Structure 1
Amino acid sequence: MPPIPPVTKALMLICTALFCLTLLVPGAGAVGAWLALWPVNSGLFWPWQVVTYGFLHASLGHLFFNMLGLWMFGGELERIWGGRRYTHFLLASTLTAALAQLLLSFSVGMSAPTVGASGALYGLLMAFGMLFPNRMIMPLFPPIPMKAKYFVMVFGALALLSGVAGGGDGIAHFAHLGGMLGGFLMIRFWRGQPPFPRRRR
């Protein structure tokens, strides 16, 4: 098992520390509320929330699966890209996920805040599928070996169907799709592919 690269390790530690802090320290939940992503029409929205919401998690299961995905996919991508490019990619996915969620909450009148690194994680899934489309992986759900490109398609389709169905499960499915879009666009930008101009070498 390769060591966890520094940016991925730092993110995992920060997310875990904030979860424990808001869970165990009296009054820390109020700080978490300032960091969560609130709808723009709620009166509680602040600009920094489009980034800070990604460090918070609503439950132990939410934290565990996001950190597992960050370790599985983010660690390898950081080793390939380096810390700086990897950080830029995570930021882009986090911002596009936040934008998608803010647009949705404004259009349908949602009032609940959004938390979690899932948007960034879905961006990492997209990048992994684009860079290693034929890599075989074994997801936990479903426990069926599949190529990375099919894994990304399945999770993207599930997020889209769940978001359109609007099952009220408390999961920000369109934020997941926004994260995937941000990851897709960043890879296209780095490659100089449409809709971006070809990059000079």
Structure 2
Amino acid sequence: MLSDRSYMRDSYGRTTTSTLTWMLCALTAGFLIQTVFERALGSPHFNQFTALSLGGLQRIWLWTFVTYPLLHSNVLHWLASLVTLFFLGRELLPLMGERRFAWFSAFSAVCGGLVWLLVPHGSGGALIGATPIVCALLMLFACLHPNRALPFLFFFMPVTVRPKHLAWAVAGISALGLAVSEIPGDRFNLGIAHSAHLGGMLAALLYYRFVHLREWRTPDGRADIELPRWLSKTAKVAPAAEPAKYTVNVTAPTRESLKAEVDRILDKINSEGLAALTAQEKRLLDDARNQISRR
């Protein structure tokens, strides 16, 4: 009918703001508020209530586990976090989905904070910055695309690096910094939270091992992809039950039922990402695409 067409309706569909955009805006707003309180007002209260510290946890300020990424030490620190978060998030958000990307970022921040708390920092130490989330996204990207070529300019010279090598380099630098800077104490501390960076990378490995590999499975119980060889050579994945709310009828007899199944799968991709699809759902999408191409 004519009234079913989009341009004849009273209201048009609106595109929602992505989780990545909200995160970038939150980092920018947090840094601006921090700058106003510190430099314009000369007040440390905003940092005290948002930065992660042992004193804050003693007051049961649990929200600081997810608010400390909003603060940064300077403009360069904030800008580096913003740019790397944008490029890595742009690659991973379509695969993970909006909700899972947000939960993964929060989980990375919590893991980074927990590992940082295990290292003694003396009195008055506080953790700020979104670098643990960035390190987690880098490690997850390296797990998913270990050999993908990443070209960039290094002192105006084109250089190509693989994500697995970049992740190893960042992990090695963080481990070295933890050993020679954080653990020795205040005398050698350079003000860089290497332990939090390692905590974010640990969160990515846990997610990849226990969440991602459990969902990309074939009907015979084997994973479609294995844990990268540069991380582990003997990874075994236990079978996981598929969610009941996204059951798919592969033998859809009519065009209407096939369209309904495809719409349900597309809704699942929009909410949970491509990684949440089962082998049956992927085959059904391929069948629907073949039917459309034969018309």
TM, length-normalised to structure 2: 0.60
Checking the alignment, whether the CA contact within 8 Å between 1:37 and 1:45 is kept in structure 2 is no
Equivalent residue pairs, number: 195
Q: How far apart in 1 are the matches of 2:197 and 2:125?
A: 17
- CA shift, 1:97, in A, is 0.3
- Report the counterpart of residue 103 of structure 1 in structure 2: 118
Counterpart residue identity of residue 66, structure 1: S
Q: How far apart in 2 are the matches of 1:113 and 1:187?
A: 29
User: C-alpha offsets along residues 78-129 of structure 1, whole Å, 9 cap, x if unaligned?
Assistant: 1221111111211111111010011113xx5353111011111110000000
- Point out the structure with max Rg over C-alpha: 2
Among residues 12, 23, 29, which one is paired with 2:35 in the alignment? 23
- CA shift, 1:30, in A, is 1.2
- CA shift, 1:46, in A, is 1.6
CA separation of 1:137 and 1:111: change in aligned 2, threshold 3 A: same
Counterpart residue identity of residue 131, structure 2: S
SS at match of 2:125: coil
Q: How far apart in 1 are the matches of 2:198 and 2:190?
A: 16
CA separation of 1:155 and 1:141: change in aligned 2, threshold 3 A: farther
Counterpart residue identity of residue 241, structure 2: R
CA separation of 1:24 and 1:161: change in aligned 2, threshold 3 A: same
Q: How far apart in 1 are the matches of 2:152 and 2:191?
A: 23
Among residues 205, 225, 236, which one is paired with 1:184 in the alignment? 205
Counterpart residue identity of residue 35, structure 1: T
Among residues 130, 144, 150, which one is paired with 2:143 in the alignment? 130
Q: Does 1:6 align with 2:18?
A: yes
Among residues 113, 117, 142, which one is paired with 2:130 in the alignment? 117
- CA shift, 1:32, in A, is 2.5
- Report the counterpart of residue 52 of structure 1 in structure 2: 67
Tell me: higher relative CO, structure 1 or 2? Use CA pairs within 8 A at least 6 residues apart.
1
SS at match of 1:145: strand
CA separation of 1:164 and 1:113: change in aligned 2, threshold 3 A: same
CA separation of 1:41 and 1:93: change in aligned 2, threshold 3 A: closer
- Report the counterpart of residue 156 of structure 1 in structure 2: 171
Q: Does 1:37 align with 2:47?
A: no
Q: Does 1:198 align with 2:266?
A: no
Counterpart residue identity of residue 147, structure 1: R
SS at match of 1:134: coil
CA separation of 1:165 and 1:95: change in aligned 2, threshold 3 A: same
CA separation of 1:98 and 1:195: change in aligned 2, threshold 3 A: farther
- CA shift, 1:45, in A, is 6.0
Deviates more, 1:21-30 or 1:37-46: 37-46
SS at match of 1:127: helix
- Supply the RMSD in Å over aligned alpha carbons: 2.4
Q: How far apart in 1 are the matches of 2:150 and 2:62?
A: 37
Counterpart residue identity of residue 151, structure 1: L
Among residues 92, 117, 121, which one is paired with 1:77 in the alignment? 92
Structure 1: where are the runs of 5+ without partners?
none
Larger helix fraction of residues? 1
Among residues 191, 195, 216, which one is paired with 1:174 in the alignment? 195
Counterpart residue identity of residue 23, structure 1: T
Q: How far apart in 2 are the matches of 1:96 and 1:109?
A: 20
Counterpart residue identity of residue 58, structure 1: S
